[in-house]
Chains A and B, each alone.
Chain A
Amino acid sequence: METIYERERRFIKDFNEIGDSFDQYAYLIELSCLLPPLPEELKTDENVVSGCQSTVWLDIRTDGGIFRFSSDSNTLIIKGVLYILQELFNGQAVSEVATANLSFLRETAIMDTFESSRQKGLGYVIARLQAAAGAAKQ
């Protein structure tokens, strides 16, 4: 299985090969279509990531030391980013997820349009995923 790092490098390369920044966002929107809908009963207050300008729900499972999460958002671009995170983390060992040093938000232009509160919001999403993985590791 590809490591988180290998998956991320592949994604960054694919994304940056799309030269036009509008088409990059269109690609994120396409990815959002691949995100399976989160069942309504999982859209609970506890699953909402606070601090996000867009509403983001995360349902995290760490059964058997394997990390899996489902997610949803009310904005398609954020859903696209959530899809990428699911692709990177799902099926990986919790220890790998907890210690991964993600760089795709820095190495692509995804964040360029996001105002600082939304940039922080995505940071909270990643922090919450990794904190859950870290807790499961212990």
Chain B
Amino acid sequence: MSTDFSTVREDFPILRMKVNGKSLVYLDNAATMQMPRQVMEAAEVQQLSRHANVHRGIHYLSESSTSEMERSRDTLRDFINARSSAEVIFTSGASQSLNMLAQSFAAIIEPGDEILVTVMEHHSNFVPWQQLCLYTGAAFKAVPVTENGELDMEELRSMLTPRTRLVSAAYVSNLLGTVNPVREIVRLAHENGSLVCLDCAQAMRHTKLDVQELDCDFAAFSGHKIGGPTGTGVLYGRLELLEKLPPAYFGGGMVERVRLEDTTFAAPPLKFETGTPNITGNIGLAAAARYINALGIEDIAERENALLRRATELLSALPEVEIVGHPQNRSGVLSFNVRCLHCFDVASMLDRLGIAVRSGHHCAQPLLDAMGLDGTVRVSPAFYNTFEELDELAEGLERIIKVTKGARDGNHL
């Protein structure tokens, strides 16, 4: 590992904050990663010197905004190794990417067709397909997970049928951190003649997404999970598919010619980007991709995996803590519960100690149902976290376990 992570915190002023009188320990990076100064500066330059609408006016600021946003698209094309910038559609995040794709699919799905997702999907890659199937008469199927929290690949194979039009699966589970065998999923789906969409939201910061090497047909991710602004994201689509798919949204900017009787649409990506885009956000997202590239995704992965392994060791050593899911390959997040304590109690008390974690269902209720749980506490370190912060987490949990002993003994969770 060549990157020096000891100074990286200087890029994230918010990490110096005090919360409840304690130094902030921010371990909720799977929800939103903090933004580095470089992203804020890119957004500021845009606002101060180029702010105007894109793809519209013939004047200096508009041209300048347009070319900067299109340069950002090129940066993101390189970030995911797409063949063409036309394959990079700006969205408000992975949720919108997936919803938009599902809406476009409504025009090509027929009753009796099948969409295959997995039980471990975030609701954003579950509900849009479920609803699409409900109103098109297609069948909605979800691949189950094993006891360890891994995809049941045998089941996946058996659930593929000649009517499976699309397989949409998470690269990494946002609840368990399970890294799915996406290459195998793509291969099986393609052998079956099905298209494949990958929800890469939880993978992007620590996994090099190479859409050509993976050979996926669609991919979605959010900007705010890689240090970009909230409300930004990308839908990648193979160009020949984007050319065939109808747009989900209509209006300004996405048309070629509008007549009383019909409308022709612009070529991708603009065909899928109606209305004024989040110009500053998209430019910030590209700045985040450059920041991640400068640190090196492989180095980030090594650092974050080491932090996650340490967190797993520390929490496994606490007798009242139950780690949720035991996948062989875990990345990004660690879910757990404290015996006879609601995850909300644990997260609230950790917050009192300045430690930010996530609690609840993490928008993954089908997976929690499959595991017989109501919720979990989720820890998700990023490369700027330190091993000392994980010690603080473990010490905090020890305190919580101690002060709640009496109450937990009488609590029938």
A→B interface (CB under 8 Å): 21-22, 24-26, 29-30, 32-33, 37, 53-54, 74-77, 112-114, 118
Instruction: List residues of chain A with CB within 8 A of the CB of B347.
Output: 113
Indicate if the CB atoms of A29 and B345 lie closer than 8 Å.
Answer: yes
Indicate if the CB atoms of B21 and A21 lie closer than 8 Å.
Answer: yes
Instruction: List residues of chain A with CB within 8 A of the CB of B351.
Output: 113
0 or 1 for each of B280-307: is its CB under 8 Å from A? (1 = yes): 0000000000000000000000000000
Smallest beta-carbon distance B14→chain A, Å = 19
Closest to B404 in A: A29
Instruction: List residues of chain B with CB within 8 A of the CB of A112.
Output: 20
Q: A25-B349, A33-B410, A76-B408 are in contact. List 15 more A-B contacts (CB 8 A).
A: A21-B20, A25-B348, A25-B352, A26-B404, A29-B407, A30-B407, A33-B406, A53-B344, A53-B360, A54-B342, A74-B342, A74-B413, A76-B341, A76-B404, A76-B411
Instruction: List residues of chain B with CB within 8 A of the CB of A24.
Output: 352
A112 to B413, CA, bound (A): 25
Indicate if the CB atoms of B353 and A22 lie closer than 8 Å.
Answer: yes
0 or 1 for each of B367-385: is its CB under 8 Å from A? (1 = yes): 0000000100000000000
Instruction: List residues of chain B with CB within 8 A of the CB of A75.
Output: 342, 344-345
Closest to A27 in B: B403
Smallest beta-carbon distance A75→chain B, Å = 4
Residue from the set B353, B404, B408 with the largest chain A CB neighbour count within 10 Å: B404
Indicate if the CB atoms of A77 and B410 lie closer than 8 Å.
Answer: no
- The main secondary structure of chain A at its interface with chain B is helix
Q: A-B pairs with the 7 shortest C-beta distances?
A: A75-B342, A22-B352, A26-B403, A113-B348, A21-B352, A113-B351, A33-B407
Verify if B309 is at the interface (C-beta below 8 Å from A): no
0 or 1 for each of B392-408: is its CB under 8 Å from A? (1 = yes): 00000001000110111
- From B20, B345, B399, B408, contact of A77 by CB (8 A): B345
Smallest beta-carbon distance B92→chain A, Å = 22
Instruction: List residues of chain A with CB within 8 A of the CB of B341.
Output: 76
0 or 1 for each of B53-69: is its CB under 8 Å from A? (1 = yes): 00000000000000000
A54 to B408, CA, bound (A): 17
Smallest beta-carbon distance A16→chain B, Å = 15
Smallest beta-carbon distance B125→chain A, Å = 23
Indicate if the CB atoms of A54 and B407 lie closer than 8 Å.
Answer: no
A64 to B129, CA, bound (A): 56
Instruction: List residues of chain A with CB within 8 A of the CB of B20.
Output: 21-22, 112
Indicate if the CB atoms of A77 and B403 lie closer than 8 Å.
Answer: no
Smallest beta-carbon distance A55→chain B, Å = 9
Within 8 A of A (CB), among B334-371: 341-342, 344-345, 347-349, 351-353, 360
Smallest beta-carbon distance B344→chain A, Å = 5
Indicate if the CB atoms of B406 and A30 lie closer than 8 Å.
Answer: yes
0 or 1 for each of B3-23: is its CB under 8 Å from A? (1 = yes): 000000000000000001100
Indicate if the CB atoms of B407 and A32 lie closer than 8 Å.
Answer: yes
A76/B403 contact (C-beta < 8 A), A22-B353, A25-B352, A33-B410 known: no
Smallest beta-carbon distance B134→chain A, Å = 25
Indicate if the CB atoms of A54 and B344 lie closer than 8 Å.
Answer: yes
Closest to A32 in B: B407
Instruction: List residues of chain A with CB within 8 A of the CB of B348.
Output: 25, 77, 113-114
A118 to B360, CA, bound (A): 12
Instruction: List residues of chain B with CB within 8 A of the CB of A26.
Output: 349, 403-404
Instruction: List residues of chain A with CB within 8 A of the CB of B407.
Output: 29-30, 32-33, 76
- From A29, A37, A118, contact of B403 by CB (8 A): A29
Instruction: List residues of chain A with CB within 8 A of the CB of B411.
Output: 32, 76
Smallest beta-carbon distance B410→chain A, Å = 6
Instruction: List residues of chain B with CB within 8 A of the CB of A113.
Output: 347-348, 351-352
A58 to B46, CA, bound (A): 54
Closest to A54 in B: B344
Residue from the set A26, A53, A54 with the largest chain B CB neighbour count within 10 Å: A26
Indicate if the CB atoms of A22 and B399 lie closer than 8 Å.
Answer: yes
Instruction: List residues of chain A with CB within 8 A of the CB of B349.
Output: 22, 25-26, 77
A20 to B260, CA, bound (A): 68
Residue from the set A22, A24, A53, A118 with the largest chain B CB neighbour count within 10 Å: A22
